[in-house]
Amino acid sequence: MKKLFDLISKLTKGTAVIFLCVFFLFCNRYTTVTEIDSNKDGKIDQYMISLKDKNLGIAMVVDESKEGNFDDISWIHGEPGNTKESFVVFNKIYKNGKVKSKTWYGPNTIKLIEFSDEDGDGFLETKIYYNKLALPKIINGHIARIEIDTDKDDKTDVWLFPADRVEIDSNKDGVPDRYSTDTKKVQEAYKQFTTSRKFELTTLPLEKPRSFVIHPELIQIDRWKANLNIHF
């Protein structure tokens, strides 16, 4: 089973045919693959992977294009005989042959953290940390903070607390040293970043003891409190 997990985890883009062949070689003894035609058009677009002895789904692979390519892979946690307790723990989405996003979930499919590529170049420069409201069908007020690697050097340099506060690492040492709480200007800077990929904003000096990033215990606003405070 580990070989299957490692294979899918490292896939950047592959064909369902190759995946199923490898799956058969390594895991056919313990698992089964159920082909699903979700919209009844005669073309398979989903593959459910289940444990044979427990009749328990552990992964779902989606081929939205119906061309034998993986577009969406989800790993599922569940309890044998109790489908109501099942929930997605990890999801990876592909777009144009590149990873578009990776999302980790907790119980009840509450979102924890999402890594995303907002400009389509294959680099996951944006990390979104969710709060306790990040349950299915909730679309507003569920983001605790957004972390951005603006120069794509694998180091976060912008921490955005939607949308009233931002902390910035101006000298690239990994520690925020500037900040702003000007709601209008913070919102404008982020909006500009989504189109120009440049985060430009007039800020003030920030001392380490006053940083919400370094000291999350200082956060008083509930919606800024992330479900997880692990920094990647």
DSSP states along the chain: -HHHHHHHHH-SS-BHHHHHHHHHHHHTTTEEEEEE-TTSSS---EEEEEETTTTEEEEEEE-TTSSSB--EEEEEEEETTEEEEEEEEEEEEEETTEEEEEEEEEGGGEEEEEEE-SSSSS---EEEEE-TT--TT--SS-EEEEEE-TT-SSS--EEEETTTEEEE-SSSSSS--EEE--HHHHHHHHHHHHHHS------EE--GGG-TTT-GGG---GGG--S-----
pLDDT at residue 96 in the model: 84
For residue 108, the model assigns a pLDDT of 85
Confidence of residue 31 (pLDDT cuts 50, 70, 90): confident
Both tokens of 218, joined, read: 């200082």
- CA angle 189-192-195, nearest 5°? 150
User: What is the structure's pLDDT at 113?
Assistant: 96
Query: 13 falls in which pLDDT band (50, 70, 90)?
Result: very low
- Tell me the domain boundaries of the chain: 1-95, 109-232
Q: What is the mean pLDDT of the chain?
A: 84
Would you say residue 28 has pLDDT above 90? no
pLDDT of residue 53: 75
Q: Per mean pLDDT, which range of 16-25, 39-48, 75-84, 144-153 is the poorest?
A: 16-25
| Per-residue pLDDT tens over the stretch 161-179 | 997 999 999 999 999 999 9
* pTM over the 0.85 mark: no
For the segment 89-133, what is each residue's pLDDT rounded down to a tens digit? Answer: 999 999 888 899 999 999 889 999 999 999 889 999 999 999 999
Q: For the segment 193-209, what is each residue's pLDDT rounded down to a tens digit?
A: 888 888 899 999 999 99
Contacts of 52 (CB under 8 A, 6+ apart): 29, 30, 31, 32
